[in-house]
Amino acid sequence: MAGCLRIFTNSIPLSILPVLRPSSTPILPSLCRPGFLARKTSTANNHHIEYNWIRGVEKLEKYRPGGYHPINIGDVLNGRYHIADKLGFGGYSTVWLALDTRLKQYVAVKVNIADSLPRETTALKALSAPVISSSCAHPGPDSVPVFLDEFEVQGPNGRHMCYTVTPAQCSLREISFSRLFSIDVARALSYGIAQAVAYTHSRGYVHGDIHLSNVLLKLPSSFDGPSIKQFYEKYGEPETVPVTRCDGEPLPPNAPAKAAVPIFLGKYAEEVALSDVHPLLSDFGEAFSPASEHRLGQDCHTPLAFRAPEAKFEPRAPIAYPSDIWSLVTAIWEIMGMKAIFSTEFVPEDEIVAQHIDVLGPMPSEWWQRWKGRRQFFDEDGRPTESYRDNRWPPLQGSFEDGVQKWRRKMGEELGESEKAAFLDLMRRMLAFRPEERPTAEEVLRSEWMVKWALPDYKRR
């Protein structure tokens, strides 16, 4: 089995660059000079320590009071979880592959920065709870992580909340970068993710951060067989690099002696078979229940390329389930094609808004009047400025041809006219500017394209 183990957190991919093993990871020259006087932090009697940079690992300067907990391969957490390898990291946690010595199975252990709030565990517990009424049965529980355990660890940087879930393979972002899924796999993945969102909504939760970095593929059940020794024999020893300070001084207890590079087992989009399509919607760090928490548009942390426009234009209005529908459609578009419907590069927010108008047409008039940045791109009549004219994105149908169809045509998998019409109809309805005009997740599943094209491939898994 080829693949890569991942879970993701807080909108940031836990592994930034995939690293093949067993290759070495060099320590690149540091930007700080030997003997450089470290700048002070606000903490009394503590200096800000700078570390030599290591490719593919978390920011080592975050191993400080209030930050990451130092973990080494071979550690045992909570007297039970034997750390076998590293799965990844995010801005607020590190994630490790561990053998549960009590149950003899592998788990993903997420170790949060010190004193973080248990927001994600609250959502995962709710989604993992059994459904009491059979009338509420939903086919999607297997498409979200299974919450297993939670505990605390105390270390030199503070008290850290930890929890475990079943481990999973690569994110779709990693395995699809500059690559194309076969058409049957793409359709099945689209249906599976939509079903995961529908299930999440049916349990009263908005995910709040849907994009391909937060969609994983499940591991086969056979993964739990080997011991740690057998795991290393099959996948290779963990790759670790000594942590060193820029000033050459000894390491403090706040940092680990060695940094572990996240494991990468390497399965890419064109290698994914229909039988592999078991998507898992992950990272519920931004999830919330509208029934008990009012999340305002200004509090939305979804990356700009996938963020619903009401977050910008109605910043003091509550966001809810329709914001997930906008993010879901951007994910489906990327799965089906090679190019995202809106720019995934680091561009200003106003440029993304201009792309929305290019692709979808005029936005609601009150939003247009409220948009202070419009003069960079359009005149008062909505015509593109001379400086922007050559940088416009094509309308929806042209974007489909450029980002999806021409790549499918090269593979001999061009969407027929009937499927194309049904697909674009669904995309346009999900991309309605006004959130109340978007279909619900259940309505997405009942759409013509999902029922006639995506669902049959999903069933054939």
pLDDT digits (tens, 9 = 90+) for 303-359: 999 999 999 999 999 999 999 999 999 999 999 999 999 999 889 999 999 999 999
DSSP state of 364: P
- Kindly indicate the confidence band of residue 33, based on its pLDDT and cuts at 50, 70 and 90: very low
Place of tokens 């999902």: 450
Q: Alpha helix (H) ranges present in 316-454?
A: 321-336, 349-360, 365-370, 386-389, 396-400, 406-410, 417-430, 441-445, 448-449
Q: 116: which residues sit within 8 A by CB, 6+ positions away?
A: 92, 93, 160, 161
Q: Give the Cα-Cα-Cα angle 48, 10, 46 (nearest 5 degrees).
A: 15
Q: Is 56 left (phi over 0), alpha (psi -120 to 50) or beta?
A: left
Place of tokens 């509420």: 136
Count CB neighbours of 61 within 10 A: 14
Burial class (CB in 10 A: 0-12, 13-18, 19+), 111: buried
| Bridge partners, 94 (sequence order) | 89, 111
Lowest mean pLDDT of 150-164, 167-181, 214-228, 272-286, name the range. 214-228
pLDDT at 144 over 90: yes
pLDDT digits (tens, 9 = 90+) for 368-423: 999 999 999 999 989 999 999 999 999 999 999 999 999 999 999 999 999 999 99
Q: Tokens at residue 249, please?
A: 């001084």
Q: Tokens at residue 436, please?
A: 């109340």
Contact between residue 334 and residue 340 where contact means Cβ atoms under 8 Å apart: yes
Model pLDDT, residue 219:
83
Contact between residue 308 and residue 352 where contact means Cβ atoms under 8 Å apart: no
pLDDT digits (tens, 9 = 90+) for 252-263: 999 999 999 998
Max avg pLDDT among 1-15, 128-142, 174-188, 316-330? 316-330
- Sign, Cα dihedral of 213, 263, 177, 441: negative
CA 78 to chain centre: 27
Model pLDDT, residue 139:
78
Q: Which of 352, 344, 369, 373 is nearest to 309 (CA)?
A: 352
Of residues 89 and 330, more confidently modeled:
330
- Sign, Cα dihedral of 63, 68, 70, 74: negative
Q: What is d(CA 82, CA 257) in angstroms, rounded to the nearest whole number?
A: 18
pLDDT at 191 over 80: yes
Q: 271: which residues sit within 8 A by CB, 6+ positions away?
A: 2
Three-state DSSP class for residue 376: helix
Model pLDDT, residue 41:
35
Annotated binding site: 110
User: What are the CA-CA distances from residue 230 to residues 46, 159, 234 (Å)?
Assistant: 43, 33, 6
- Kindly indicate the confidence band of residue 45, based on its pLDDT and cuts at 50, 70 and 90: very low
Q: What is d(CA 102, CA 299) in angstroms, rounded to the nearest whole number?
A: 41
Specify the pTM: 0.85
pLDDT digits (tens, 9 = 90+) for 209-227: 999 999 999 887 767 778 9
What value does the mean pLDDT take over residues 144-148? 92
pLDDT at 101 over 50: yes
Q: What is d(CA 352, CA 369) in angstroms, rounded to the nearest whole number?
A: 17
pLDDT digits (tens, 9 = 90+) for 5-26: 444 344 333 333 333 443 333 3
Q: What is d(CA 146, CA 142) in angstroms, rounded to the nearest whole number?
A: 8
What value does the mean pLDDT take over residues 198-206? 96
What value does the mean pLDDT take over residues 182-203? 97
| Bridge partners, 323 (sequence order) | none
Q: Tokens at residue 253, please?
A: 């207890």
Model pLDDT, residue 159:
96
- Kindly indicate the confidence band of residue 266, based on its pLDDT and cuts at 50, 70 and 90: low
Annotated binding site for ATP: 110
Contact between residue 138 and residue 199 where contact means Cβ atoms under 8 Å apart: yes
What value does the mean pLDDT take over residues 147-176? 93
Model pLDDT, residue 135:
54
The continuous run of DSSP H or E covering 99 comes out as: strand 93-100
Count CB neighbours of 211 within 10 A: 25
pLDDT at 99 over 60: yes
Model pLDDT, residue 37:
29
Q: 97: which residues sit within 8 A by CB, 6+ positions away?
A: 5, 83, 84, 85, 86, 87, 106, 107, 108, 109, 167, 263
Mean of per-residue pLDDT scores for the chain: 87
Burial class (CB in 10 A: 0-12, 13-18, 19+), 437: exposed
Model pLDDT, residue 3:
40
Structural domains present in the chain: 53-129+136-166+220-264 (3.30.200.20), 169-218+267-460 (1.10.510.10)
DSSP state of 129: S
Q: Is 283 left (phi over 0), alpha (psi -120 to 50) or beta?
A: left
pLDDT at 86 over 90: yes
